[in-house]
Amino acid sequence: MTASTPALAGTTERGRLRFELPAELEAATPAEARGLSRDAVRMLVARKGEGAIAHATFADLPAFLAAGDLVVVNTSGTLAAAIDATTDTGEQLTVHLSTSLPADLWVVELRQGARPYTGGRPGTVLTLPGRATVDVLAPYARSRGRLWVAALHLPDDAEANV
């Protein structure tokens, strides 16, 4: 079950591993939509002390735990909301709404096809269908440009649907 993976590509200047996930391994839809149960989703297990990496499924999790281990669970909310958008240069993107923030702001992910969009910049204005826009304001936390804080400007009749 232990295998090295070519997706781990070198180290950064801070000594952290740089990980690139091939598009064919991305989970673009929920497990159920792909005919899988929740515990059948793939899981990568790294054992720091051994330098080992194992490919498993979530159902295998108990086999990797020992008394006193810490399990961190990501409970961040993500909406099933993907909206087509266009940049001012005509690039076609998808805006994924993630989390509602105070002051009518949102955490969003910008994607181009199956990959994260790397051209996002503070001040970017994206055009959505139906006279709506998204103002990209700032990177969200330490997401390295994958997640953004954005303001949605929706026509009055659309705001009730978000």
Domain ranges for the chain? 8-64, 82-161
Q: From 27, 24, 46, 54, select the one nearest 38 (Cα to Cα).
A: 27
Angstrom distance (rounded) from CA 68 to CA 15: 27
Q: What pLDDT score does 159 carry? A: 47
Q: What pLDDT score does 78 carry? A: 60
Task: Give the angle subtended at the CA of 159 by the CAs of 153 and 161, to the nearest 5°.
Answer: 135
Pick the CATH number of 82-161 from 3.30.70, 2.40.50, 2.40.10, 2.40.160: 2.40.10
| DSSP-derived 3-state class of residue 64 | helix
The strand pairing partners of 83, in sequence order, are 95
One-letter identity of residue 112? Q
What pTM does this model have? 0.54
CA separation, residue 93 to residues 121, 151, 159 (Å): 14, 16, 21
The strand pairing partners of 2, in sequence order, are 54
Q: Residue ranges of the alpha helices (H) in 39-135?
A: 61-64
Encoding tokens for residue 160?
A: 């009730």
- Whether the CB-CB separation of 55 and 3 falls below 8 Å is answered with yes
CA atoms within 13 A on the CB side of 146: 6
Angstrom distance (rounded) from CA 11 to CA 19: 9
Q: What pLDDT score does 12 carry? A: 46
Residue numbers of the chain with a pLDDT score lower than 50: 1-13, 158-160
Q: What pLDDT score does 38 carry? A: 78
Angstrom distance (rounded) from CA 42 to CA 55: 7
